[in-house]
Amino acid sequence: MPESVIPPPRIQNGAQGSTLGRQLAIQRERRPADPLLSLVVPVYNEEESIDIFLEAVTGLMERDGFRFEIVFVNDGSRDDTLIRLLDHSAADRRLRIVNLSRNFGKEAALTAGIDHARGDVIVPMDIDLQDPPELIEPFMTRWREGYDIVYGVRTQRTSDTTAKRLSASWFYRVFNTMSPVRIPENVGDFRLVDRRAVEVLRQLPERNRFMKGLFAWVGFNAVGVPYERPQRVAGSTKFNFWRLWNFALDGVVSFSTAPLRAWFYVGVVIASIAVLYALFIVTRVLIFGIDTPGYASLLIAVLLMGAIQLLSLGIIGEYLGRLFLEVKSRPIYVVEGVYADGTSQPTKP
Residue 48 makes contact with Mg ion by CB under 5 A: no
Q: Which does 105 bind (CB under 5 to 8 A by kind): Mg ion, ligand UDP, none?
A: ligand UDP
The helix/strand/coil state of 284 is helix
Residue 250 makes contact with ligand UDP by CB under 6 A: no
DSSP state of 160: S
Counting Cα atoms < 13 Å in the Cβ hemisphere of 41 gives 28
Positions of E strands within 76-198: 95-100, 121-124, 149-154, 187-194
Residue 75 makes contact with ligand UDP by CB under 6 A: yes
| Of 41 and 197, CB closest to Mg ion | 41
Contact mark string toward ligand UDP, 43..62, x via CB under 6 A: xx-x----------------
Q: How far is CA 296 from the centre of its chain?
A: 47
Rounded to the nearest whole angstrom, what is the least distance from the CB of residue 307 to ligand UDP in the complex?
34
Residue 110: which of 195, 211, 192 has the closest Cα? 211
CA angle (5 as vertex; 71, 56 as ends), nearest 5: 35
Among 8, 35, 42, 133, binds ligand UDP (CB under 6 A): 42
Q: Which does 106 bind (CB under 5 to 8 A by kind): ligand UDP, Mg ion, none?
A: ligand UDP
Q: Report how far residue 173's alpha carbon sits from residue 193's, in angstroms, rounded to the nearest whole number.
A: 25
Rounded to the nearest whole angstrom, what is the least distance from the CB of residue 46 to Mg ion in the complex?
10
Rounded to the nearest whole angstrom, what is the least distance from the CB of residue 100 to ligand UDP in the complex?
9
Among 130, 176, 179, 256, binds Mg ion (CB under 5 A): 130
Residue 115 makes contact with ligand UDP by CB under 6 A: no
Size of the site for ligand UDP (CB under 6 A): 17
| Of 237 and 272, CB closest to ligand UDP | 237
Query: Which burial class, exposed, middle or buried, applies to 290 when counting CB atoms under 10 A from its CB (0-12, 13-18, 19+)?
Result: exposed
Q: Report how far residue 103's alpha carbon sits from residue 86's, in angstroms, rounded to the nearest whole number.
A: 18
> 3-state DSSP: the chain helix, strand, coil percent, rounded to 5?
50, 15, 35
Residue 109 makes contact with ligand UDP by CB under 6 A: yes
Contact mark string toward Mg ion, 196..235, x via CB under 5 A: ------------------------------------x---
The CA-atom distances, in angstroms, between 195 and each of 67, 120, 168 are 15, 5, 29
Q: In the complex, which residues of this chain contact Mg ion (CB under 5 A)?
A: 126, 128, 130, 232
Q: In the complex, which residues of this chain contact ligand UDP (CB under 6 A)?
A: 42-44, 46, 75, 103, 105-106, 109, 126-128, 130, 232, 237-239
